Amino acid sequence: MSRIGLLLPSALLLGGCVAPGLKYIDRPPMTTTGDSSTTSEAESTTVMTATGDASETDGDSASESDGETSQASTTTAASTDSTSGDPGATTTGTTDAAEAVCGDGIVEGDEECDDANDIAGDRCHECTKNRWIFASAALHNDGDLGGLEGADSRCRQYALQSGLADDTWKTFVAWLSDSDHDVRDRLYPGRGRYVRTDGVIVVASFEQLFSGSLEAPINVDEHGNQDIGGGVLTGTQPDGTAAPGTHCDNWTSSALSDFSVYEGSSSATDEFWTMYPDPPTPCAGFLSRLYCIEGK
């Protein structure tokens, strides 16, 4: 029997009383460091001690507590083993994410869209996006477009005013190169088709834009008006790289003495769609459109 048991006559304990000089102490939860587990707060034990004497737990209680601690440690170890001790490890029973399924209405993986239908003419085709391409209704009479940024801004305003692009009007880029930039590096490489505003397919893929051959001419403007015809400012060869020259001082000049304008034809489907083989023309005195292409 412990010292506490010797100090307390059984008669004092039977009536539920505590002898003078004795008090109850709520022992805090036992904690250990290192590999040992922490015992539950709900298992805190009330012990009695005489004033001034050191507190000492009953041997049986300590043994029981040790047993519970050991059991908790075993449980913790088993839990750790189930994840191999690696916080990033996949737990047993989990599987890798399923591959994207076109037509389930969920955009995932490399899908650009997934409308869960096969309606012809909408903007989602086999879970890739149909992107708009048009020749501007507006005609430009000189090479001062405000640089490539100014030309892109014009295309975006044309798309916005047409109402066909929703909030994607901000992504439009002019099919235009200068002495420092090839247009093929300025476009977003979409996975889908490029279509006119009347729904006709111009090219079946991004790569076809640089093949020198189109499936249909880009002779429809942002409003859907067809067969508009006319020349288009491009400064670009069939492979999407810049044509030689200064490009009207990178599209900031309207000088008649500067012969550096290369144009394409909106009625052509061969390489002439982007570049006539003729010598360049002056940076003023013409009426030409811009090709505008939707981005991301």
pLDDT tens-digit readout, 176-235: 999 999 999 999 999 999 999 999 999 999 999 999 999 999 999 999 999 999 999 999
Residues 64 and 76 in one domain: yes
- Distance, in Å, from the CA atom of 41 to the CA atom of 27, rounded to the nearest integer, reads 10
Distances (CA, A) of 223 to 101, 137, 138, 219, 226: 35, 8, 11, 12, 9
Q: 90 lies in a domain? A: no
Q: 16 lies in a domain? A: yes
Q: 92 lies in a domain? A: no
- Distance, in Å, from the CA atom of 222 to the CA atom of 133, rounded to the nearest integer, reads 8
* E strand intervals along the chain: 22-26, 46-50, 124-125, 128-129, 131-135, 140-142, 173-174, 194-195, 201-203, 231-233, 259-261, 263-265, 281-282, 284-293
The mean pLDDT of the chain is: 76
Q: 14 lies in a domain? A: yes
For residues 243 and 236, is the Cβ–Cβ distance under 8 A?
yes
Residues 118 and 13 in one domain: no
Q: Copy the structure tokens of residue 224.
A: 């859907």
- Residue 60 pLDDT more than 70? no
Q: How many CA atoms lie within 13 A of 265 on its CB side?
A: 12
What is the amino acid identity at position 248? Answer: C
- Distance, in Å, from the CA atom of 102 to the CA atom of 100, rounded to the nearest integer, reads 6
Q: Per-residue pLDDT averaged across 35-50, rounded?
A: 37
Rounded (10°) CA dihedral 242, 253, 221, 159: 90
Residues 239 and 103 in one domain: no
Residues 63 and 102 in one domain: no
Residues 119 and 171 in one domain: no
Q: 257 lies in a domain? A: yes
Residues 66 and 192 in one domain: no
Q: 40 lies in a domain? A: yes
pTM of the model: 0.66
pLDDT at 99: 81
Q: Copy the structure tokens of residue 242.
A: 């810049």
Residues 234 and 137 in one domain: yes
Residues 211 and 68 in one domain: no
pLDDT at 98: 63
Mean pLDDT is highest, among 44-53, 83-92, 220-229, for 220-229
- Return all residues near 218 (Cβ < 8 A) that are at least 6 apart: 133, 134, 135, 196, 202, 232, 266, 273, 291
The total number of structural domains that make up the chain: 3
- Distance, in Å, from the CA atom of 204 to the CA atom of 201, rounded to the nearest integer, reads 7
pLDDT tens-digit readout, 237-276: 999 999 999 999 999 999 999 999 999 999 999 999 999 9
Residues 70 and 119 in one domain: no
Q: 91 lies in a domain? A: no
Domain residues for the domain of 12 are 3-82
Nearest to 23 by CA among 3, 43, 52, 1: 52
